[in-house]
Chains A and B, each alone.
Chain A
């Protein structure tokens, strides 16, 4: 068999074991007889192996002080375990609780509407995380609009609620003095609502400080002693509702 009989597409299928047995055997047999075909297959396979080889070992991400944050990993895995338990529970007909609802809800308006019309609505305190992951100026404005909307809705309904605004990655810029144009507005929200807390991811702050070569100045009311992963995982396990901006 002339090696031109087989296109490279066909040879890709061969080396990736995507052909049926007959075609596979046919090419395998041809390779034994045809040095040129053998070389083409060898080259394609070498390319494939090279790509796999190139990413077998890659640089590890750097964390605070170059040490991997195992505590954060621990928390996030605990959170995952909790969610998995929940998921399995849902498969088998367990009662769905607030944590389950948190996986379904996308916006502040949805959250409020859900509880307003839910048959199980009561006057228990609602706990909500607003996760801000972007420094986009319009998204930050949107986050603050959402926060104020939530606070107003619950106040009007007479339902107690707690709101934690957790900033992560470039979202931390929302709470930076001299950077965020919304500092006064945020301070106003916190002063007028004792149930609102601000958090800036410790890990994101460290990363930004490394890149900028200077210390970041955050709002005094911003808590900065934990990573966003820790904060969110802890709260998800306790049934908080999660909204990502």
Chain B
């Protein structure tokens, strides 16, 4: 009976992993703005999640656990990027892809460019909050910083974005659904 219960639990966790893959990819993309790199970061996250599954003691923390692995992979990438002496340079994989045909919306393009101009520490926090929807406490755990630092980084990020996007944020150019104030 225990075996059957474990099988069900494994199947459920597997589904929860699968449900999160797309959002992990989009968050990784919001940090690096490169599809290939974002995909690699998520693949790495899955490799590590696979190997470290035994360290996940509480399924309620699955989100913060997975996103923390993703963030660590991203930081590892940034660290290694400036340090390696490559056998052969296959080209800069971190070039922004804002000019590609996929970019349909002018608003989306402007916001992404603005996010990309943020310092990395602010970019990570603001996307974890505003795109991924994590609470301040969860972000503090993922990024491994105090909640006060989360608040100040988020404040600086939004101030910065507000300055860059003032015309969008204040002059009624947003899609109607974005203008609602709770």
Question: Which residues from chain A sit less than 8 Å from chain B, CB to CB?
Answer: 8-9, 12-13, 15-16, 18, 31, 38-39, 41-56, 58-62, 76-77, 79-81, 83-92, 100, 102-103, 133-140, 169-170, 173-174, 176, 179-181, 207-208, 211-212, 229, 232-233, 236, 242
Q: A134-B80, A173-B88, A236-B50 are contacts. A50–B11 as well, Cβ < 8 Å?
A: no
State the Cβ distance, B43 to closest chain A Cβ, in Å.
Answer: 6
List 27 A–B pairs whose Cβ atoms lie within 8 Å, in order of A's numbering: A8-B155, A12-B155, A42-B170, A44-B162, A46-B178, A47-B161, A50-B107, A51-B131, A53-B175, A54-B115, A55-B26, A55-B112, A59-B97, A61-B25, A61-B36, A77-B14, A77-B17, A83-B49, A85-B10, A103-B51, A133-B44, A136-B87, A137-B86, A170-B90, A173-B87, A174-B87, A211-B93
A207 to B27, CA, bound (A): 22
Chain A: CB-nearest residue to B39: A61
State the Cβ distance, B106 to closest chain A Cβ, in Å.
Answer: 11
Residues of A within 8 A of B52 (CB): 103
| Contact A84–B158 (Cβ < 8 Å) | no
Segment 61-112 of B: residues with Cβ below 8 Å from A: 80, 83-88, 90-91, 93, 97, 100, 102, 107-108, 111-112
With A89-B6, A92-B6 known, 10 other A-B pairs at CB within 8 A are A8-B158, A48-B158, A50-B178, A54-B30, A58-B38, A61-B25, A84-B53, A86-B53, A103-B51, A138-B85
Q: Closest 4 CB pairs between A and B? A: A61-B39, A87-B53, A51-B130, A54-B111
Contact of B25 among A50, A58, A90, A233 (CB under 8 A): A58
| Contact B181–A31 (Cβ < 8 Å) | yes
| Contact B130–A52 (Cβ < 8 Å) | yes
Chain B: CB-nearest residue to A208: B90
| Contact B29–A55 (Cβ < 8 Å) | yes
| Contact A61–B165 (Cβ < 8 Å) | no
B40 CB–A CB distance under 8 Å? yes
Chain B: CB-nearest residue to A18: B136
State the Cβ distance, A38 to closest chain B Cβ, in Å.
Answer: 7
A15 to B182, CA, bound (A): 8
Chain A: CB-nearest residue to B127: A51
Main SS of the interface on chain B?
A: helix
| Contact B158–A12 (Cβ < 8 Å) | yes
Main SS of the interface on chain A?
A: helix
A103 to B84, CA, bound (A): 27
B149 CB–A CB distance under 8 Å? no
| Contact A170–B170 (Cβ < 8 Å) | no
B13 CB–A CB distance under 8 Å? yes
Segment 108-150 of B: residues with Cβ below 8 Å from A: 108, 111-112, 115, 126-127, 129-131, 133, 135-136
| Contact B151–A46 (Cβ < 8 Å) | no
| Contact A76–B88 (Cβ < 8 Å) | no
Q: A13-B151, A62-B36, A76-B46 are contacts. A140–B87 as well, Cβ < 8 Å?
A: yes
Q: A47-B158, A55-B127, A140-B87 are contacts. A39–B49 as well, Cβ < 8 Å?
A: no
| Contact A134–B151 (Cβ < 8 Å) | no
Q: A136-B85, A170-B90, A232-B47 are contacts. A87–B35 as well, Cβ < 8 Å?
A: no
